[in-house]
Amino acid sequence: MKTLLSGNEAIARAAYEAGVTVATAYPGTPSTEILENVAQYKEIYSEWAPNEKVALEVGIGASIAGARVLVAMKHVGVNVAADPLFTFAYTGVNGGLVLISADDPGMHSSQNEQDNRYYAKFSKIPMLEPSDSQEAKDMVKMAFALSESFDTPVMLRITTRIAHSQTLVELEEREEVGVKEYVKNPLKYVMIPAYGRMRHVVVEERRQKLEQETEKVTVNRIEWNSEDIGVITSGINYHYVKEVLPQVSVLKLGMTNPLPKELISQFVSRVDKAYVVEDLEPFMEEQIKSWGLEVIGKETFPRTGELSPALIEAGITGQSAASEAAATAAQEIPKRPPVLCAGCPHRGVYYIINKLKLKVTGDIGCYTLGALPPLEAMDSCICMGASIGTALGMEKARGREFSKDLVAVIGDSTFMHSGITGLVDVVYNKGTTTTLILDNRTTAMTGHQDNPATGYTLKKEETSQVNFEELVKALGIKRVAVVDPYDLEKVEAVLKEETQAEEPSVIIVRRPCALLDKSTRPAMVIDQESCTSCKRCMKLACPAIALKGEEVVINYTQCSGCELCMKVCRFGAIKKAGESNE
């Protein structure tokens, strides 16, 4: 039976069909839906881990114990998981382990657009790249076979287009592979230097065997047409090439580490002109040129952002498809900057931070949107969990006086991910950083996934709930305050007090995400007779408040009734619906 599935759904289905019994991940666009769909299968234990390193470590343990394991994360998550990954490449597997890296060319929802194919080459493990949902499913199953045949973890790289686009997929029955016998083997799994040196030899032997295997796998194939032009490509770009240049010959590579040197040499030798079409870095191009083969790559195609059919056609023929240009023009829509949701509890915090003119080291999450106008309440944002350490670094570089108007801002899920260690460093190295944990009781940015502070597992089972107050006290923080972000007076008073304290402090700003709060409150309205158009309420950057001509108005269909605008209005012009004369 065939059904329409996204790439993420197809990968989840493949895990089920391949007999996977353990799956772990940390949510992150574009990979989040993989585990959300895996969780629908009762045959698979699945969990959100606090971060990607822990997710892979859980997966490694399950693999060593004999289970087939799927681990998923977005591209930057592999940076977090790189430490166990490189050593696991040495130990090898027992049950097969497949690591999904969801890369994001174009940075649709990411802080960079790194090319994770290099991780496979660096750690000397196989890399597979599907070009649609059917291949995503097929290649996951192929990856498990490779993993167990070659005693190695296998990476499967998808991009945002593969993760979220849908194609028809043939569904198959689950293969019950069972859990392999566990055999204690310290020479293989205990990587003290003496054993590690022996395993490095094994890794090199395996690399050479994989170089032979990649010449034979069917996912690497040539589709001959005109030999005037040949294109070497992988992933979604294969379909782009077929769409705009059906007349050219194509070498489609599904296994991109190691690359099939003989197959590529054969292809390049027969075509008059060979192009390498790949997103982001010249990963394939550089290796092919190092073999002395002449190909055209990044001198023609951009190294930043996503490729498109038009870019590929323009790069090879010098002309762009008129039909695509017309379609692009027709799809033009008004630009809308990202903004915090109406009623978002983070809004009031940033309003007070701006009022007090504080400097902010920020983190990854919804609250990063506080960096945009008109709030502009953020000085830095590096990566998951970096806010607290960055604030401590600023204090150590510039002294205590500088840090008296500096705060670190981090969300509840991100604090669980990797913020805790930064706070430990503040305590250990005698910092005075004021840390705000914006606790909205969920992982909001990626779609409301649970985390260790919500009290629920991925499968919505009740579980122990991390108590932030007790946790930060246990780390050595003596000054801990809890405030409601809708209580602006209290937020301001606590911020003034804690930023002046001569010791580290944590302010837990707690209010559930506005999109989770199902309570109904009356919308706010503006009494135009009392309104002076000072526009102070618009400094909140609430999407429900807008200018209509010269008047400030509130769109009641968007208003959540949080009352923040009423609290900042100096003229009493904003009231609850029903209390106004309007």
Identify whether the C-beta of residue 348 lies closer than 8 Å to the C-beta of residue 485: yes
Indicate the SS3 state at residue 215. coil
Between CA 72 and CA 449 the distance in angstroms is: 15
Q: Is 513 annotated as a binding residue?
A: no
Identify whether the C-beta of residue 153 lies closer than 8 Å to the C-beta of residue 93: yes
- Beta-carbon contacts of 79 under 8 Å, excluding residues fewer than 6 positions away, are 114, 383
Q: Is 341 annotated as a binding residue?
A: no
Between CA 226 and CA 272 the distance in angstroms is: 10
Token digits of residue 469: 């107050």
Indicate the SS3 state at residue 212. helix
Rg (CA), the chain: 27
**CA-wise closest residue to 260 among 231, 227, 218, 228:** 218
Between CA 198 and CA 451 the distance in angstroms is: 39
Q: Where are the beta strands (DSSP E) in 96-247?
A: 97-103, 127-128, 154-159, 166-170, 220-223, 226-233
Q: Give the angle 59-280-29 at the CA atoms, nearest 5°.
A: 45
Identify whether the C-beta of residue 12 lies closer than 8 Å to the C-beta of residue 59: no
**CA-wise closest residue to 2 among 164, 160, 166, 156:** 166
Q: Is 537 annotated as a binding residue?
A: yes
**CA-wise closest residue to 154 among 254, 245, 229, 234:** 254
Between CA 194 and CA 45 the distance in angstroms is: 35
**H-helix segments, 175-282:** 186-189, 193-213, 236-244, 261-270
Q: Is 542 annotated as a binding residue?
A: yes
Q: Which residue has the tokens 């060593």?
A: 64
Q: Is 534 annotated as a binding residue?
A: yes
Q: Is 531 annotated as a binding residue?
A: yes
Q: Is 559 annotated as a binding residue?
A: yes
Between CA 550 and CA 205 the distance in angstroms is: 74
- Pairing type for strands 2-6 and 166-170 reads antiparallel
Binding site for [4Fe-4S] cluster, by residue number, is 531, 534, 537, 542, 559, 562, 565, 569
Binding site, by residue number, is 531, 534, 537, 542, 559, 562, 565, 569
